[in-house]
Structure 1
Amino acid sequence: MTEINSVTTLTRDGDVAIVTLNSPPVNALSANVRDGLYEGFKQAIDSDAKAIVLICEGRTFIAGADITEFGGAMKGASLPDVQAMMENSPKPVVAAIHGTALGGGLEVALCAHYRVAVPSARLGLPEVNLGLLPGAGGTQRLPRIAGVEKALEMVTSGRHAPAKEALAMGLVDELVEEGKLKDGAVAFARKLVAENKPLVKVRENNAKLEEAKGKPEIFAEFRKKNARKFRGFLAPEYNIRCIEAAVNSNSFEEGLAVERKLFMELMTGPQSAAQRYYFFAERTAQKIPDVPDDTPTRPVKKVGVLGAGTMGGGIAMNFLNVGIPVTIVELKQDALDRGLATIRKNYERSRGAVPEQTEQRMSLLTGSLSMDDFADCDLIIEAVFERMDIKKDVFAKLDGIAKPGAILATNTSYLNIDEIASATKRPQDVIGLHFFSPANVMKLLEVIRADHTAKDVIATSMKLAKQIGKVAVLAGVCPGFIGNRMLSQRQREANKLVLEGAMPWDIDRVLYDFGFPMGPFAMSDLAGLDIGWVKENSKGETLRDVLCEMDRRGQKTGAGFYDYDENRTAKPSPVTEKIIQDFRAKKGINARTISDEEILERCIYPMINEGAKILEEGKAIRPSDIDVVWVNGYGWPVYRGGPMHYGDFVGPDKVLAKMKEFQGAMGDDFKPAALLEKLVAEGKKFSDLKA
């Protein structure tokens, strides 16, 4: 065995040289890995071996680039150097794939003359998820091997293709038995030598490109079909252009030059910076300084959910999906029956629904009318009406029913959890688990730490969130926690802007163009304007009151802020416009013209400012946690990183100047956070704050 460097070795199996890479955890293409591969292949080529196998130790083949190197100066052998060494080898090179061959890993494998894989392997080019495109020939080689349509779908979705599918599309030449990858790859290499098989260079294979030449409709149709999904993102479009270049260029090198140019544009642009930032933000959110990774957790083998409404039912589904039995309790039989029927219907309607799977999940669900049936549950989640007296009554009862060590969780979106916990004799077992609606779909889970919450309860909740496929963020107790507290700033300004002269559809358009899936008024119509509205208490004091009194309660009644046709397509409403004009006249307000720029600043900057207050109060651990909440729970466009990252992008000094300007003109709703003032005074950004 020859040790090439700390991560690469060169060994022999008879006449086959084996270059082995071992750089935990995922064999990412760091400078050390690239140097090892380059030198390893060089020595293998110079030896008397007849073929070369590239294989990786650990749980995976090369799973991509080393993201931490992005944007820095490149050291050591470049990736194209390694690829050229492989591709131009006078001896057949076989890539042996297990785990995942992703991004740069697949781009390396595509420079081998042949590829073998175990059936559990997956291959893909997921760079689009970081706002990038494959920058080492991936967009030029993939369509040559898999065809244009398949390549378009893979590079714009970042999807990982299973080995069997990769074999069908020609991405892999042979599947070998699990656990016997090295033997299978060596045998395959020997066969190539024995049969004198050609050294296949993917870059020279133009047959599948020729099929797409002179057919621009392939690209036009693909863009049209995915327009909604790609809206606002640059990377999918740039990936498409690279594959167009593969088809239309006169040579591989010409296409490669287009790929390189567009890659650098994305790499140095704000969208990829935001998406790479977010990639790390989501992983960092799991780290809680005073709750280390090795904190013991409590076993959760059975869950209780109080309330079988939309929220309770959705919460229950999360646990059923991963095989955890759930007891769901309602006060009345009809409400329980309705809740159980809705859960079944949700399973039956879900994409790819399998009757056996629905039955298996429903078999884990027990309906009950008695909270006493929570006695053997390890975790009980309350999802009842959002009123403090009701919540405290429920927790006092649970305190007498739940077994010692059971976690008592509230799904409140706003209320003080310390006060809720005070209704029990075990405040250390009480935590907030704020699911977002629909709870079986939305990825965000705000985990709310109260004053007395035990560390093992926090650790258990964070671990459980991951188990049920949620992205968890820890928050402290304050009205609205992180997400809704910041949302209230936007809502307030949106409503004020309407009174001052903007129309709801103007505000919605500006926020939609910024990248949100919908604006605040379209969102209100979707949710229902009568949520929390009590007819008996209505005095027509707000626009919402007036609309609800006219039975304009949103999409469900065919009219709210907007008018809706039978397909629920929204159009600006002359009725609403007249209501707003009358409302302004009644309040003595003279409408003024409001620019799109003011709408955006008034809606977004107070949110950033509120985020600063949340940080200075210690209710969020770090700015990036706030961004994870907003991307996952409220549709903040990931290519803008989140409100705090956006604050850094705009510049905290500019945000502060605007807040002061608005404060002078419109009052203390815009009072700058002390932390924002401090950052600007010190010439720092939110990203400089450390947990």
Structure 2
Amino acid sequence: MSAVAYEVDGEVAVLTVNYPPVNALSAATRTGLGEGIERAQADEAVKAIVILGGGKTFIAGADITEFGTEKSKAKPQLKDLQKMLENSPKLTIAAIHGTALGGGLELALTAHSRVAVASAKVGLPEVNLGILPGAGGTQRLPRLTGVEVGIDLITSGKHVPAAKALDLGVVDAIVDDVRTGAIAYAREALASGKTFVPVIERNEKITNVDPAVFAEARKTVGKKARGKIAPMVIIDCIEAACTRPAVEALAFEAEKFQELYASDQRGALMHYFFAERQARKIPGIPADIQPKPINSCAIIGAGTMGGGIAMSFANAGIPVTILDLSQEALDRGMGVVTKNYGISVSRGSMSQDKMDKALSLITPTTNYDDLAQCDIVIEAALERMDVKKEIFARLDKLMKPGAILATNTSYLSIDEIASATTRPGDVVGCHFFSPANVMKLLENVRSAVTSPETIVTVMEMGKRIGKVPVLAGSTEGFIGNRMLQYYTGEAEFLLEQGATPEQIDRVATRFGMAMGPLSMRDMAGMDMAAVSRKERSANMPAGERLSPILERLVAAGRCGQKTGKGYYRYEGREKFSDPETMEIIEGVAKEFGITRREFTDDEVEARLFAPLVNEGAKEIEDGTAIRASDIDVTWVNGYGFPVHRGGPMYWGEKYGLDKIYAMALEAEKRNGPRWAPGKLLERLAKEGKGWDAA
């Protein structure tokens, strides 16, 4: 059976792609389209050809499961189909519903005209895979939208709603029904005798473009890209569209596509694309386990975190009841929520109507009884076990049967919190990251007895509220924070041994981190880090040490940005090097008999990130993380690890697990037993295998 159905309605041939779930441009789809177009061309009664998608969508893009396989080379190729549509003597129309993304939109751009239903979206998201739209996307889209809009859409990978696509000229009409509307549009066009000019021949929006447009785009996009190659190459291709004949510019685009496809970044971003989807799949849970309905939510604590969590649910259209013990705290928290929404409106990222709707879904209260009928309650109170257990004992008595009892703790034991209830299977960690209304990661944490139904529910809930959910086991710090201490800890050891704060942070940002570990410390507050470290140091194994630099800085009144000095000196948010910091660092080195030396940037980079890989391997070993790729998803979304490096575990495998293992042995000698390599890393390093063999 063909992946493309062929039928004729009067003088209009209709080609319907039926290749679920997203009508990808697989070999089967391409074959069916090629045969259908040829059949329509041979039929003298057919005057127009409409291509549409069956099921829920148009053509969502390339079939990435065929990348690198023989099927990807099968004829006809996408460019063959494009030539057939673009050069067709008969009118060709792409009729879009659902999404037309990547290759799907590139195919549609070679039709003589495009129509879409109001709910449709279009876009060229290839940049998210480290490549560019290599079938003419960088050449045709700017001819319709103009250069500046084209640069923005293609370098960001945005999905554009149909109404906006109409305004930009990407589609020519909005229709009520994709099939009947497209056929009617074709008949009207035929009756009018209108001549359609192929998009590739429309040059009015790409001629006489000021070169300063491209210079400014490279500057603006470069800041956002932070080391990504593809966005900058996309600008080169769009500039070529404006400065070269179409044939040359298309060839240039094809050449640059091949270069990007062969790049390390493409491999890393492709890995991450699949990793995010894999993280949703939980081994051992029967397929027939269904999530509980989450139609209402309660939040305990109206502070920064509680307010941000409430916004996440309200933004998804889920009613929220938010509780705090005093009206003053509640008013203060709701004031922050309202202010944050107001900022979004002022920036144009949210309409006033959406703000009003979201606020109407948040109900503040000081009465615990108002939470009783909610489907899930998320505790975001003080990070103390005694406080958590007291709250959960109260919730156990209060909440309706089957309600999920969740905690936003960032490191405390879910098993111990659950022990305060008579329904531990309903208890789970839902660790949001600050600011919770912005950060994408939701680290769900199961105890030893969290029920499969509870796990499935919070994973599905994460998707519904726009988060990227990952499931972790209940060890101190879970996946992300457990690893973080080794990143910041190694930065402090490097300071003792001769690196400067400026070098360490510069190397981290060169690597692709949003900020360096020491700037991060200053922003978060050094005093808070000192308090948590004091608790942790009491349980350190024999032979372990922490560098006392942080504590010495705090003792000197250097608590970070809030005191105007930490690792750096601050004037507002602008930071400067400070000799006083170096005096404290050098004093610590002298006290411990450490001879300071210069480090290369490559040495600093390896020392900063190798410990993450070692600890991540231990998390796989003890079951805290299900897969190495889950750790990558956690660090990309929660800690700003550069996605174009694939995540710390992917980076570590490419760097060499044998090298990571050797560095862990050295770190054990320098820093203590917690830094030693685990058995899994040792095995994989010695066998020359990667995480797939874990």
If the length of structure 2 is used for normalisation, what is the TM-score? 0.93
Pair 1:25-2:24 in alignment? no
Q: Distance in 1 between matches of 2:141 and 2:508?
A: 37
The aligned counterpart of 1:291 is 285
How far does the alpha carbon of each residue in 1:633-652 deviate from its partner, in whole angstroms, 9 at most, with x for none? 00010000111111221122
Task: Answer with 55-64 or 361-370: which moved more.
Answer: 361-370
Q: Secondary structure at the match of 1:498?
A: helix
Q: Distance in 1 between matches of 2:196 and 2:106?
A: 17
Q: Distance in 1 between matches of 2:312 and 2:203?
A: 47
The aligned counterpart of 1:330 is 324
The aligned counterpart of 1:530 is 527
The alpha carbon displacement at 1:173 in A equals 2.1
Query: CA 1:365/1:174 → structure 2, altered by over 3 Å: closer, same or farther?
Result: closer
Pair 1:163-2:159 in alignment? no
Query: CA 1:563/1:286 → structure 2, altered by over 3 Å: closer, same or farther?
Result: same
Answer whether contact 2:155 2:221 (CA < 8 A) is retained: no
Q: Secondary structure at the match of 1:93?
A: strand
Answer whether contact 1:648 1:687 (CA < 8 A) is retained: no
Give RMSD over aligned pairs.
2.2
The aligned counterpart of 1:371 is 368
The alpha carbon displacement at 1:333 in A equals 3.4
How far does the alpha carbon of each residue in 1:447-504 deviate from its partner, in whole angstroms, 9 at most, with x for none? 1110111111111111111111111100111111100111111122111111111112
Q: Distance in 2 between matches of 1:198 and 1:359?
A: 47
Q: How does 1:305-344 map to 2 (within 5 A)?
A: 305-344=299-338
The alpha carbon displacement at 1:319 in A equals 1.8
Query: CA 1:102/1:625 → structure 2, altered by over 3 Å: closer, same or farther?
Result: same
The aligned counterpart of 2:581 is 576
Q: Secondary structure at the match of 1:409?
A: strand
Answer whether contact 1:662 1:670 (CA < 8 A) is retained: yes
Q: Distance in 1 between matches of 2:196 and 2:343?
A: 50
Counterpart AA for 1:198: T
Counterpart AA for 2:625: A
Q: Distance in 1 between matches of 2:5 and 2:133?
A: 27
Answer whether contact 2:116 2:162 (CA < 8 A) is retained: yes
Pair 1:65-2:62 in alignment? yes
Q: Distance in 2 between matches of 1:463 and 1:187?
A: 40
Q: Distance in 1 between matches of 2:523 and 2:657?
A: 34
Q: Distance in 2 between matches of 1:146 and 1:541?
A: 56
Answer whether contact 1:71 1:267 (CA < 8 A) is retained: no
Q: Distance in 2 between matches of 1:357 and 1:183?
A: 33
Query: CA 1:328/1:123 → structure 2, altered by over 3 Å: closer, same or farther?
Result: closer
Counterpart AA for 1:324: I
Counterpart AA for 2:262: T
Task: Answer with 119-128 or 631-640: which moved more.
Answer: 119-128
The aligned counterpart of 1:659 is 664
Answer whether contact 2:221 2:231 (CA < 8 A) is retained: no
Answer whether contact 1:418 1:450 (CA < 8 A) is retained: yes
The aligned counterpart of 1:135 is 134
Q: Distance in 1 between matches of 2:277 and 2:108?
A: 28
Answer whether contact 1:645 1:687 (CA < 8 A) is retained: no
The alpha carbon displacement at 1:661 in A equals 4.3
Residue number among 636, 655, 669 corresponding to 1:650 in the alignment: 655
The alpha carbon displacement at 1:659 in A equals 2.6
The aligned counterpart of 2:153 is 154
Residue number among 214, 217, 225 corresponding to 1:219 in the alignment: 214
The alpha carbon displacement at 1:151 in A equals 1.4
Pair 1:399-2:396 in alignment? yes
Q: Structure 1 regions of 5+ residues with no counterpart?
A: none
The alpha carbon displacement at 1:664 in A equals 5.2
The alpha carbon displacement at 1:561 in A equals 0.9
The alpha carbon displacement at 1:402 in A equals 2.3
Query: CA 1:163/1:373 → structure 2, altered by over 3 Å: closer, same or farther?
Result: closer
Answer whether contact 2:489 2:547 (CA < 8 A) is retained: no
Pair 1:200-2:205 in alignment? no
The alpha carbon displacement at 1:204 in A equals 2.0
Q: Distance in 2 between matches of 1:333 and 1:217?
A: 55
The aligned counterpart of 2:274 is 280
Q: Secondary structure at the match of 1:581?
A: helix
The aligned counterpart of 1:500 is 497
Q: Distance in 1 between matches of 2:680 and 2:162?
A: 51
Q: Distance in 2 between matches of 1:565 and 1:388?
A: 38
The aligned counterpart of 1:681 is 686
Q: Distance in 2 between matches of 1:326 and 1:666?
A: 46
Residue number among 540, 552, 558 corresponding to 1:552 in the alignment: 558
Task: Answer with 357-366 or 421-430: which moved more.
Answer: 357-366
The alpha carbon displacement at 1:662 in A equals 4.2
Q: Distance in 1 between matches of 2:578 and 2:668?
A: 32
Query: CA 1:653/1:569 → structure 2, altered by over 3 Å: closer, same or farther?
Result: same
Q: Distance in 1 between matches of 2:123 and 2:693?
A: 34
The alpha carbon displacement at 1:534 in A equals 5.6
Q: Distance in 2 between matches of 1:270 and 1:88?
A: 37
Q: Secondary structure at the match of 1:134?
A: coil
Q: Structure 2 regions of 5+ residues with no counterpart?
A: 538-545
Q: Distance in 2 between matches of 1:399 and 1:617?
A: 30
Answer whether contact 2:126 2:157 (CA < 8 A) is retained: yes
Q: Distance in 1 between matches of 2:445 and 2:575?
A: 36
Answer whether contact 1:436 1:444 (CA < 8 A) is retained: yes
Counterpart AA for 2:94: A
Answer whether contact 1:476 1:619 (CA < 8 A) is retained: yes
Residue number among 23, 38, 41 corresponding to 2:37 in the alignment: 41
Q: Secondary structure at the match of 1:207?
A: coil
Answer whether contact 1:32 1:76 (CA < 8 A) is retained: no
Q: Distance in 2 between matches of 1:38 and 1:298?
A: 45
Q: Distance in 2 between matches of 1:302 and 1:523?
A: 35
Q: Secondary structure at the match of 1:385?
A: coil
Answer whether contact 1:271 1:639 (CA < 8 A) is retained: yes
Answer whether contact 1:71 1:268 (CA < 8 A) is retained: no
Q: Distance in 1 between matches of 2:453 and 2:616?
A: 27
Task: Answer with 493-502 or 660-669: which moved more.
Answer: 660-669
The alpha carbon displacement at 1:354 in A equals 4.3
How far does the alpha carbon of each residue in 1:600-650 deviate from its partner, in whole angstroms, 9 at most, with x for none? 222111111111111111111111111110000000100001111112211
Pair 1:542-2:541 in alignment? no
Q: Distance in 2 between matches of 1:295 and 1:226?
A: 44
If the length of structure 1 is used for normalisation, what is the TM-score? 0.94
Q: Distance in 1 between matches of 2:693 and 2:233?
A: 32
The alpha carbon displacement at 1:270 in A equals 0.9
Counterpart AA for 2:643: V
The alpha carbon displacement at 1:269 in A equals 0.8
Pair 1:185-2:182 in alignment? yes
Counterpart AA for 2:662: A
Counterpart AA for 1:424: T
Pair 1:304-2:301 in alignment? no
Q: Secondary structure at the match of 1:60?
A: coil
Task: Answer with 81-90 or 633-642: which moved more.
Answer: 81-90
The alpha carbon displacement at 1:190 in A equals 2.7
Q: Secondary structure at the match of 1:136?
A: coil
Counterpart AA for 1:518: M
Alignment length (residue pairs): 678
The aligned counterpart of 2:621 is 616
Q: Secondary structure at the match of 1:594?
A: coil
Q: Secondary structure at the match of 2:624?
A: coil
Answer whether contact 2:13 2:48 (CA < 8 A) is retained: yes
The alpha carbon displacement at 1:141 in A equals 1.5
Task: Answer with 14-23 or 446-455: which moved more.
Answer: 14-23
Residue number among 476, 480, 499 corresponding to 1:479 in the alignment: 476
Counterpart AA for 2:6: L
How far does the alpha carbon of each residue in 1:636-690 deviate from its partner, in whole angstroms, 9 at most, with x for none? 100001111112211222322333344456653442221112223333211344x
Q: Secondary structure at the match of 2:90?
A: coil
Query: CA 1:306/1:117 → structure 2, altered by over 3 Å: closer, same or farther?
Result: closer
Q: Secondary structure at the match of 2:100?
A: strand
The alpha carbon displacement at 1:15 in A equals 1.8
Q: Distance in 1 between matches of 2:104 and 2:14?
A: 17
The aligned counterpart of 1:98 is 97
How far does the alpha carbon of each residue in 1:320-358 deviate from its partner, in whole angstroms, 9 at most, with x for none? 222333332223333232222222222222243544544
Residue number among 4, 7, 29 corresponding to 1:8 in the alignment: 4
Q: Percent identity?
A: 53
The alpha carbon displacement at 1:533 in A equals 4.4
